[in-house]
């Protein structure tokens, strides 16, 4: 389950920072959900191979994954014939842990609806000076498009006497 924790660790750190941009946090929530879904769908084989190699390095016996899983006290009335050890660890442990993380991310995502973002954090960031600077850039761009380079070259010498000639 280390891989699940690694995927969600960055998101947890970002959500704990007070100064973090909310839009960035929402983007991380979405990308973390995508990574967890991919891990849920395609990650069992890689996870199991990593687990087996770890057990071999440490000298730990791995259970027979094809064997029937014995649940509860082991009495036959408590057992299900179709549940193998592999099925139990894959479905009842691995997928359940990932599904739990996905449910937590869904509740986190619902806590930050997009309308609140636009109305609060973005508005708070946009004070008058910020908006004025944005407007200046657009106005300067429009003015620069109307000015011809030859007119600048012609007007340059008449502004002030210079040691070197522009033309």
Any idea where the domains of the chain sit in the sequence?
Answer: 2-125
Report yes or no: 39 and 98 within 8 Å, Cβ to Cβ: yes
165 φ/ψ angles, rounded to the nearest 5 degrees: -90, 140
- What pLDDT shows up at residue 162? 67
Euclidean distance between the first and the last CA atom of the chain, given in angstroms as a whole number? 72
Q: What is the pTM of this model?
A: 0.43
Chain-centroid distance of CA 27 in Å reads 5
Report yes or no: 64 and 85 within 8 Å, Cβ to Cβ: yes
Q: CA angle, corner 23, sides to 21 and 29, nearest 5?
A: 110
| Chain segment 49-59, per-residue pLDDT in tens | 887 888 889 88
């Amino acid at each position: 389950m280390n891989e699940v924790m690694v995927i969600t660790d960055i998101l947890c750190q970002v959500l704990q920072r007070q100064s973090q941009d909310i839009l960035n946090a929402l983007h991380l929530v979405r990308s973390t959900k995508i990574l967890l879904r991919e891990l849920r769908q395609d990650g069992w084989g890689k996870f199991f191979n990593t687990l087996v190699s770890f057990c071999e390095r440490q000298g730990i016996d791995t259970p027979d994954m094809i064997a029937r899983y014995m649940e509860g006290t082991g009495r036959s009335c408590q057992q299900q014939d179709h549940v193998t050890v592999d099925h139990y660890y894959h479905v009842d442990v691995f997928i359940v842990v990932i599904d739990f993380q996905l449910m937590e991310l869904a509740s986190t995502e619902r806590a930050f609806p997009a309308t609140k973002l636009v109305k609060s954090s973005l508005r708070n960031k946009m004070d008058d000076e910020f908006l004025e600077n944005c407007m200046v850039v657009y106005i300067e761009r429009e003015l620069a498009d109307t000015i011809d380079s030859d007119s600048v070259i012609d007007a340059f010498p008449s502004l002030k006497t210079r040691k070197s000639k522009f033309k």
